[in-house]
Every structure is written in structure tokens, then in C-alpha cells.
Amino acid sequence: MKCPRCQTENNTQARFCVQCGYDLSTTGQMKGAVHCACCGAILPAGVRFCTSCGTPIGNTFTQQNDDSEGTMILEESNPEQEDSFEGTMVLEETSMPFTVDQSDKTQMLNDSSMPFTVDQSDRTQMLNDSVGNEVNYAKYYENNTYNNSMNQGGNNTVQTNTIQSNSGNKMKLVIGLLCIMIVAAAVVLVLVWKGIVKLPFDLPFIPTMETETTTEVESSTVETINEKESGKGVSEEQLSNADRDLSEGKEKIENIEELIDGMENIESAMEQYKTLADEFGMSESVSEHMADAYDVYVSAIIKHKDMMAEQELSGGIHTQIMNEFGQAIAYAEEFIAAGFDVDTSLLISERDGFDTSYRNRVIKAFNEFASRDSWSRTEAWNLMDDTDNMFASDDLDDPIRLRYCYALAWWTQKQIESELGSGTITQKGAALKIAGILEATDYNLMLVDYYIQYMHAEGQDCSMVETAYLEILDKLADTQGLHIGEDVDMAHFWYFNDFGQYSVDDKNGVTTENRQWIRQRLGSVTF
């Protein structure tokens, strides 16, 4: 037996449809009823469209009973009658074997969304063929109302597909969001595991409640700041350590043997005074102690300078004393920046005076060597050995530098002579040694002369150097009237003499202009 609602084949003896639960027992009482081929709803006689799904009446089938009795065919109604009954249809009272409420009959017909026309003679037949009793009619009415509610405003199949499509899209959206949340959670777990991200409960607990200890620390900090601003925080006990170092330093500097140790004690005291001022602020007491300590320190440097100046002249002594003056000036700049009032006038005066006087002493001592008929090249070099710190490297005409270069040239020649005598060097080797040091000796002409001699002895070509050398000799003869080899031999040619403040002769020497020309001429030659 086929279900009139869903068209599902059921067992002949089945009372209800296995698919939709429709009561099949009423089919025997609905002999010859016309049903919609699409949804299986019972159709009233004379309708052109299904009142449930709107399917045209051509797609209908006739319900047959179990005895396979005849088939009822629904004929089309008269168009004129359709026009007269178009719209909502009102049922007339009939002699039915059951009682139906008037409002239910009207509601059953009004539930249809499709306009239809029913022949007047078929109205009673429609109701008689629908149900056989009050209970079955109620079921029909409920099913018909359900189908109408599912198909309001359009086709039932299209609406069902749309709902299913929307439900599928929502389900995909929910699944996508869940996947994103799972991936994000996994990323967070990895970052936490590697220590890149810290969760709030992993952070150390920091109490925000103000404790008595915190209050005391803040109060102490405020007091320290106030003390630093007022400068009244330095106690006598705090000054005592620095005062003790200062007192020891004063005693030691009175003894020449303990002078250096005394200067170290004074330096320690000054550093302590500065530290106290940084921590507790400047005060009159600290400032006075610092001023006293600095004055004592300056006096110690002067005393040490005087002691060292009495020793044999040396560029090393000059360097040491000048470094001590420089350190004292650096201390003064640091203390002044911290707010102390220290006096550097005496220190600077003593420094400048020492530098000038010591340089003069060195120059005069070297000039005395050169004025002798015979003089020791070793003695001259010992005097000038460490004087390369007494002049600026870019001041080529500094009097100290000129004498330093001259002493270096003769010291180099003495070494070459010793090496040639011992056989540790050849004459070509001697020439190469001169070529390597010639610029450092300010192109001393005595070394150039020896270079040419050594190269000739080895049979080497040095024509370019020899040509430049002869041009220099002609230059000195033409501009200064000095003929080397005639007026003065090469061993007594004072290449260091510049005819300036420290001149040793008014003819034997080289003017500043000629010396510059010699540097350029020999500097252009390859040795």
C-alpha cells in the first residue's frame, strides 16, 4: 500500500506509514479520493492547484482501495463557475455522519496559499471524501495545516533546500572558528613552553600594600636628598678618614725620600672629599678641606719638579714632570666641575716655566757639544734620546727636533761604522740602512754623502740620489754662500742650526727656506 502523503510503499496490513506515520487505516474509507502527486495531500474536488504545495492538478493520482474498485477522475470545472467562486470559499451545511465546527472548516480552506475555484456541487463531496469520522478529520486538518505552514510564500522543495544550505554554511562557519581557536591555543602553548610569553599567573607577586619598611626607606631617601641639597650631611667622622690621609701626606712630602708616597696620600684625601660631596652635597667644611688638600698637592709637585730638575738633563725627566703637572690640572678640572673652588694659577705658572727653562737647558747643552773641536756622538745621543716627547711631530722646525734629528743621524752612522768593522753588515747593507732612516733624520746631508760612498763601493747605481745631492750643495752655495767641503767639512756641518734664537753660528747652518726645499728634493728621490 502506497502512503498518500509521502508515496512510500507500506505493507498491505500496515496501519501507519513507516516513513511519515500517516494513518493508513483511513484509506479504506477514502475510496476514490484524489491526492497530490507531489506531497500526497487530499485535494478537494474541482481545484486546479494543490492546496498544500501548489502543484498543478494534472499531477494527481486516485487512491484505490484494497478491492481495486474504480477510479475517480477529477474533471476541470466550468470557467464561469470559477469566476463566480474565486477567492475564499465558504462551506455550506451538509448532512455529514460527523460534526465539524464551522470555524474549522473555514480555517482548513483559508490555510491554502493558492487561489482556487471549486464547483458548488463539489463542496459537499470534498468534505465527505476527506474523512469518515471526527477523529480522522482532525488528523487531516492537522497534516494539511502543517504542509501549508511549510510552504507559505513559495515552493516547499526550494525553501527546504535553502534552509539546508544555510544550515550547512553555518555549520562550516562554526567548524572554521573552532579550528582557528584550536590553532591559536596551540601557538600560545608553544610560546609559553619556550618562555617567550609569560602568563599572568607566572609573574612574581609584588605586594602593593605599603609596609612600614617601605615607608622607612622612602623617608631615609628623602632625608638623604635633603642632606645632599643642604650640604649638612657630612659629619666630622666621615671627614676624619680623608683628613688623616691629608695629614700623613703633609708629613711625608717634607722628606724627599717619601715625597712620592706623600703625594699619593694627598690624592687619596682629595678623592674622598669629592666622594663625600657627591653623596651628601657641597658644604663649607668639605670645600675648605679640599682647597687645603689641593694646595698641598701643588706644592708637592713643585718640590718634586725642583728635585728632578737638579739631575742630569734628560728628555725622560721632562716628560715625567710634565705628566705630573697634567694630572694636577685634570684633578682641578674635575673638582671645579663638582663645585669645589681650587686655585690652579700657581700650578699653571710653574708648569709653563719649567717647560721653557728645561727646553732651553737642553738646547744650550747640545749647542755646547757641537761647538767643541771633537765631541762624543754617544754623549750627544744620550742627551737627545728621549726628547722626541718635547716637540710636536708636525712641527718640523722645532729647535729640539732639529737637534734630535742631527743626533740621531750621527748615532746611526756610528752604529754603521761599528757593524762594518765587525763584518756584520756590508756596504750595500749600510746604504740600505741609511735609506730606511733618512727621513727620520730630516734628510741629513752627512748621511746622504755616506750613502753615495757605500753604493759606489758596491758598484751600485745611485745617480738619481747623487744628482739631487749635488743640486743641494749648489743651492746652499748660491743662496747662503756656504761651500761645504771648502768653508766647512761635512763632519762639522751644523745641519741643525737654523740661524734663529738658538743659533750657534751665523754661516754654518741651513735657513728655514732651504731646509724645506731639501726635504722636498730628497723626498722625491728613490733610494
What is the arithmetic mean of pLDDT over 4-21? 79
What is the arithmetic mean of pLDDT over 480-509? 94
Judge whether 45 and 125 are in contact, CB under 8 Å. Answer: yes
What is the arithmetic mean of pLDDT over 459-470? 97
pLDDT in tens, 269-283: 999 999 999 998 888
For residue 34, what pLDDT band results from cuts at 50, 70 and 90? low
Q: Which of 473, 521, 523, 504 is nearest to 403 (CA)?
A: 504
pLDDT in tens, 114-153: 444 444 444 444 434 443 444 344 444 444 444 444 444 4
Alpha-carbon distance of 371 to 492, in angstroms, equals: 9
pTM for the model: 0.56
Alpha-carbon distance of 489 to 110, in angstroms, equals: 148
In this structure, of 234-238, 266-270, 392-396, 523-527, the range with the lowest mean pLDDT score is 234-238
Q: What is the dihedral of CA 27, 33, 34, 39, to 10 degrees?
A: -20
pLDDT in tens, 338-368: 999 999 999 999 999 999 999 999 999 999 9
- 477 grid coordinates: 752655495
Judge whether 332 and 347 are in contact, CB under 8 Å. Answer: yes
Residues contacting residue 227 through CB under 8 Å, at least 6 positions apart: 233, 280, 281
Tell me what pLDDT residue 20 has: 81
Average pLDDT score, the chain: 77
Judge whether 270 and 318 are in contact, CB under 8 Å. Answer: no
Alpha-carbon distance of 365 to 111, in angstroms, equals: 137
pLDDT in tens, 142-153: 444 444 444 444
Tell me what pLDDT residue 296 has: 97
- 284 grid coordinates: 663649607
For residue 24, what pLDDT band results from cuts at 50, 70 and 90? confident
Write the burial class of residue 108 (CB in 10 Å: 0-12 exposed, 13-18 middle, 19+ buried).
Answer: buried
- For residue 16, the cross-strand partners are 23
Residues contacting residue 59 through CB under 8 Å, at least 6 positions apart: 36, 37, 38
Q: Are strands 34-36 and 60-62 parallel, antiparallel or unpaired?
A: antiparallel
The region, left, alpha or beta by phi > 0 then psi within -120 to 50, assigned to residue 78 is: beta
* In the chain, where the domains are located: 24-154, 228-364, 372-523
Alpha-carbon distance of 483 to 326, in angstroms, equals: 47
- For residue 62, the cross-strand partners are 34
Alpha-carbon distance of 408 to 495, in angstroms, equals: 12
Judge whether 100 and 126 are in contact, CB under 8 Å. Answer: no
Alpha-carbon distance of 320 to 351, in angstroms, equals: 12
DSSP three-state, residue 65: coil
Tell me what pLDDT residue 380 has: 93
Is the per-residue pLDDT at 74 higher than 80?
A: no
Write the burial class of residue 176 (CB in 10 Å: 0-12 exposed, 13-18 middle, 19+ buried).
Answer: exposed
Is the per-residue pLDDT at 387 higher than 50?
A: yes
For residue 8, what pLDDT band results from cuts at 50, 70 and 90? confident
Angle at 302 between CA 301 and CA 305, to 5 degrees: 85
Tell me what pLDDT residue 26 has: 54
Give the helix ranges, DSSP H, for 339-440: 345-370, 377-384, 399-422, 427-437
